[in-house]
Chain A
Amino acid sequence: MVGRRWWTPWLWLAPALALLGVFLVYPVVDTVRRSFLDERSKSFVGLDNYRFIIDNPQPLVSDTHSALLNNIMWLTLFTGITVALGLILAVLTGRVRYEAAAKSSIFIPMAISFVAAAVIWRFMYEFNTDIGTVNAAVTSAGGESTDWLRDTGSPQTWLTERGPDTMPRPIQINNLALIFVGVWMWTGFAMVVLSAGLKGISTEVLEAARVDGANEWQIFRRIIVPILSPTIVVVATTLVIQGLKKFDLVWVMTGGRAKTDVVATLFYKEAFRVGDFGVGAALAVVLLLWVLPIMVISIRRFQFQEETR
């Protein structure tokens, strides 16, 4: 543009860049630096901290393997179940008369603070049936009370005789109980976003499919899901990032005890409880590397959609 000096745009950008530099770039760079230093960040230890994560030498204090596996579980189960439930609820609530009421009640958990929700559910899962609603329900149905948050999957009599002990090791009742709370909180979000997408599908398209000979399931599977797929991807990416970063629920409900740690809780513990900044930083970097590709994919996708608009 005529009469504009080259540095004018940079001048306007400077405050934002400065803030980003101080609060984002510097911490990231410093975390990466510390992940190669010892616990007091004094001397260079090479890849020792990363080796610690891979070898898992102190499974009783900081079980890095179970944290990584739990995170994979959060990633897959939390995302999968939430998207699936959100989609089903979006379709179902769209067909009832009291749609607004149904949607609001499912969306309410989203409005509760995560810490508050975690506290609520700690009471819900409480072993004592006078406090724990879940166990009160189980026992009134003739089952036995379970300590949901501490239970690591030892044989249970309240489900079936050979129930949970046939599950593979990382799949523990307490992890599933935690993930369930995450699902409870985020299903409303998935439902609302997907339902908005659903409203965008013209009824004539669905009617055309019906006349073409499709039954309700085929319409859902071959028309609705493909048309909604961009929205599903957006919801899934948001949830994947949520699942990977999950800290609050786990921290408040179990504090990472009984093998419920995820990477986020473990690096906090390592850095600020154990006092090993090296391992803590290395765990944070692992998490960053995990989130990065998903961020890149979703940003690319967003740019692509902007261009094709």
Chain B
Amino acid sequence: MATVTYDHVTKRFDTVVAVNDFNLEIPDKEFLVLVGPSGCGKSTALRLLAGLEEITEGDIYIGDRLVNHVPAKDRDIAMVFQSYALYPHMSVYDNMAFGLTLRKVPKEEIDRRVREAAQILGIEDLLKRKPRQLSGGQRQRVALGRAMVRDPAAFLLDEPLSNLDAKLRVQTRAELSKLHQRLGTTFIYVTHDQVEAMTMATRIAVMKDGLLQQVGAPQDLYDRPENVFVAGFIGSPAMNFFQARVKGQREEMHLDIDSFQVPVPASWLDDLLPYGGKEVIFGMRPENICDPECQPCSTEAAPVTAMVDVTEVMGSEIFLHLVADGKAFMARVDPRCRARPGQEIRVEFDMARMHVFDPETEEAIGSREKR
């Protein structure tokens, strides 16, 4: 049980900066998910904490202990790898017991802990088997068990679900959350899948090109992304972005997006005043674009005419691929909607839920509360 602190941590491989001035404090018992596209440095950040890579600059603390020069074996952390990395020549039991035998834990104590972990994970019947005799899901459990018996200060998980099939992944996601509640240990979880991040995390840290973009609770990240990257990365299907120009004085202020115009809600006027006549990036999530014929928007609806390009029926909802004057965007609407490909329809943008970003810094415009 411990807090984990990254203090201005940088990692360079020759000329490549994998992790750039990374600052993050992870409180005890938190389930923190590091998410980002591949090559963003999230795995490196985790490996730095595990002691598998050397830190170039900065400090890492586990609890109050500075661990920069502590070897991996003495850091009191456990790690679950993407490939599970089970010892192929050992039985499941020995795989789980290995870390404890190295620490010279008494035999009875090892036995008790291994059996307890096996029971929690439902792998009691597999203890005598070798890893090659197990299915992917079972191996994944053994890898978790091997980490659990150690009772570590922190659990590090590096994309542990990416080798499982889709159904098992969904199931294991919930089980991991349950396990986290039960163990009450700090979990640090690396994934490129924003769905995994959203569903399991206490807090999410989004990374890109070695830089930390934003840290926050899942809903907070979703509702109030601080820049274009986070807005586009969190949420599926992704947020629609439009190049827009702020036009008109106060009451008639609107965003001009070539093919259509949308009025700026009264609450946003002050924020967008300095951008009068300038370019901005206008963002709108697909679920905030609706088809008024089946499910009207809020009071701040702005009508837009668009051509239906493709429809994707998901059962519980329909994804409409729309085109307005060459500009493609997506809407997520109720399955009762009757839109068909090739048809021209009128959709509504829910302007109360709009996002605006500065095109140069890509940072969000407007005060936090409004977004």
Contact = CB atoms under 8 A, between A and B. Distances in A.
Interface of A: 202, 204-205, 207-215, 218, 222-223, 226-227, 229
A212 B103 CA distance: 9
B89 A212 contact: no
Interface of B: 50-52, 71-75, 77-79, 81-83, 85-90, 98-99, 102-103, 146, 150, 156
B102 A202 contact: no
B150 A212 contact: yes
Main SS of the interface on chain B?
A: loop
B189 to A, nearest CB: 16
A230 to B, nearest CB: 10
* Interface of A: prevailing SS: helix
A56 B249 CA distance: 118
A205 B87 contact: yes
A97 B85 CA distance: 26
B102 A211 contact: no
Contact of A211 (B50, B82, B86, B90): B50
A218 B102 contact: yes
A14 B54 CA distance: 65
B85 A205 contact: yes
Contacts of B82: 204
Nearest to B88: A227
Given A211-B51, A211-B73, A211-B75, 12 more contacts: A202-B83, A204-B81, A205-B86, A209-B98, A211-B78, A212-B78, A212-B99, A212-B146, A215-B73, A218-B102, A226-B90, A227-B89
Contact of B52 (A211, A213, A215, A229): A211
Contacts of B71: 210
Given A212-B98, A213-B99, A205 B52 contact: no
Contacts of A209: 87, 98
Nearest to A222: B98
A208 B72 CA distance: 10
A214 B73 contact: yes
A218 to B, nearest CB: 6
Contact of B102 (A204, A207, A214, A227): A214
B67 to A, nearest CB: 13
24 contacts: A202-B85, A204-B81, A204-B83, A205-B87, A205-B88, A207-B50, A207-B85, A208-B81, A208-B146, A209-B87, A210-B51, A210-B52, A210-B71, A210-B72, A210-B73, A211-B75, A212-B102, A213-B99, A214-B73, A214-B102, A223-B87, A227-B87, A227-B88, A227-B89
A215 B102 CA distance: 9
Contacts, number: 64
Contacts of B73: 210-215
A49 B82 CA distance: 65
Nearest to A214: B102
Contacts of A205: 85-88
7 pairs of A and B residues whose beta carbons are closest in the complex: A204-B85, A212-B99, A208-B85, A226-B89, A213-B73, A210-B72, A213-B102
Contacts of A204: 81-83, 85
A213 B86 CA distance: 15
Contacts of A202: 83, 85
A215 B73 CA distance: 7
Contacts of B150: 212
Nearest to B79: A211
B85 A213 contact: no
A52 B156 CA distance: 70
> Chain A CB within 10 Å — which of B77, B99, B146, B150 has the most?
B99
Contacts of B99: 212-213
A207 B52 contact: yes
Contacts of A215: 73
Contacts of A211: 50-52, 72-73, 75, 77-79, 156
B106 to A, nearest CB: 16
Contacts of B146: 208, 212
Contacts of A222: 98
A203 to B, nearest CB: 9
Nearest to A229: B89
Contacts of B98: 209, 212, 214, 222
A223 B79 CA distance: 17
